[in-house]
């Protein structure tokens, strides 16, 4: 009996459709040429257009794409994966989960202990264990490449184990150079195989955090311009 191969998927990537630096063709080309990632989830903030473009273009690069979005809920960011339509922002986490499920998607909580981006850890009061369980999540981001707090991913992994849900990995890349630094390992080759692994909780989070250069690039090319737009009264895009 032949062993099933393990493959890598980066389930948290941003493009110029939200606050990423690079457009969809650039992200796809870099992934195909410079990484061993073969499935990307484009998860722009409260936008699905980039993911739909990526899914259309992906075959040209020998890649597969999960259509996703990073939804701004009332209590943190949630990755809605395998979706078809835009989910409204500002809903509770359970309501957002229900919206994702209604269109055949899965709900994975993004960076639950992030101290900078919008996460449950930044909301007061913080969720109790009963509330965490009541969110109805399919998984949570066990390893997020952007975490500056070295304890954040450790705490996320412990919470994942306690809740008995899937743990995923994603680079949270806003720059092509950070694509694939954190990823989800799954057995199989296709998007359908990846989904089954998340549902069966057989996927694994792996990789590392961004490099210092990655943080510097994010700060100068994403954080500073976004803050400047906010100060000038434009609608800021959330981290």
Question: What is the domain partition of the chain in residue ranges?
Answer: 6-231
- 6-231, CATH topology level: TIM Barrel (3.20.20)
For residue 217, the model assigns a pLDDT of: 73
pLDDT band at 220 (very low <50, low <70, confident <90, very high): confident
The DSSP letter of residue 235 is P
Cβ proximity of 75 and 120 under 8 Å: yes
Q: Based on the number of CB atoms within 10 Å of its own CB, is 232 exposed (0-12), middle (13-18) or buried (19 or more)?
A: exposed
Cβ proximity of 31 and 57 under 8 Å: no
| Token couple for 189 | 């080759």
| Token couple for 218 | 């994010």
CA angle 154, 222, 214 (to 5 degrees): 50
What's the rounded mean pLDDT across residues 195-200? 98
Q: Which of 140-144, 147-151, 221-225, 232-236 has the highest mean pLDDT?
A: 140-144
Choice between 117 and 236, residue whose per-residue pLDDT is larger: 117
Kindly give, in sequence order, each residue whose CB lies less than 8 Å from that of residue 155, ignoring residues fewer than 6 positions away: 112, 113
Give the burial string for 68-86 (b: 16+ CB within 10 Å, else e).
bbbbbbebbbbbbbbbeee
In percent, how much of the chain has pLDDT > 90?
79
Indicate whether 91 pLDDT > 90.
yes
Distance between CA 105 and CA 181 in Å, rounded?
25
For residue 2, the model assigns a pLDDT of: 54
What's the rounded mean pLDDT across residues 46-50? 98
For residue 227, the model assigns a pLDDT of: 66
What's the rounded mean pLDDT across residues 121-143? 93
The DSSP letter of residue 59 is G
pLDDT band at 118 (very low <50, low <70, confident <90, very high): confident
What's the rounded mean pLDDT across residues 212-231? 71
What's the rounded mean pLDDT across residues 138-155? 95
Indicate whether 234 pLDDT > 60.
no
What's the rounded mean pLDDT across residues 149-175? 96
């Amino acid at each position: 009996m032949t062993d099933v191969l393990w493959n890598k998927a980066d389930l948290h990537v941003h493009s110029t459709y939200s606050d990423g630096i690079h457009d969809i063709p650039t992200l796809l080309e870099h992934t195909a040429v410079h990484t061993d990632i073969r499935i990307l989830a484009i998860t722009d903030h409260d936008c699905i257009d980039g993911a739909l473009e990526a899914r259309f273009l992906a075959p040209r690069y020998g890649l597969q794409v999960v259509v996703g979005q990073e939804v701004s809920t009332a209590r943190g960011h949630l990755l809605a994966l395998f979706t078809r339509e835009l989910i409204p922002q500002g809903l509770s986490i359970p309501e957002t989960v229900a919206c994702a499920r209604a269109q055949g998607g899965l709900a994975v909580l993004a960076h639950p202990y992030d101290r900078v981006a919008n996460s449950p850890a930044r909301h007061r009061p913080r969720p109790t264990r009963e509330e965490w369980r009541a969110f109805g999540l399919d998984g949570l981001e066990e390893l997020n490449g952007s975490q500056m707090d070295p304890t954040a991913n450790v705490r996320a992994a412990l919470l994942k184990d306690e809740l008995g849900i899937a743990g995923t990995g994603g680079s949270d890349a806003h720059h092509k150079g950070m694509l694939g630094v954190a990823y989800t390992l799954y057995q199989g080759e296709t998007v359908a195989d990846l989904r089954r692994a998340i549902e069966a909780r057989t996927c694994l989070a792996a990789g590392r955090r961004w490099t210092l250069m990655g943080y510097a690039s994010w700060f100068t090319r994403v954080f500073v311009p976004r803050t400047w737009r906010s100060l000038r009264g434009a609608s800021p895009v959330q981290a």
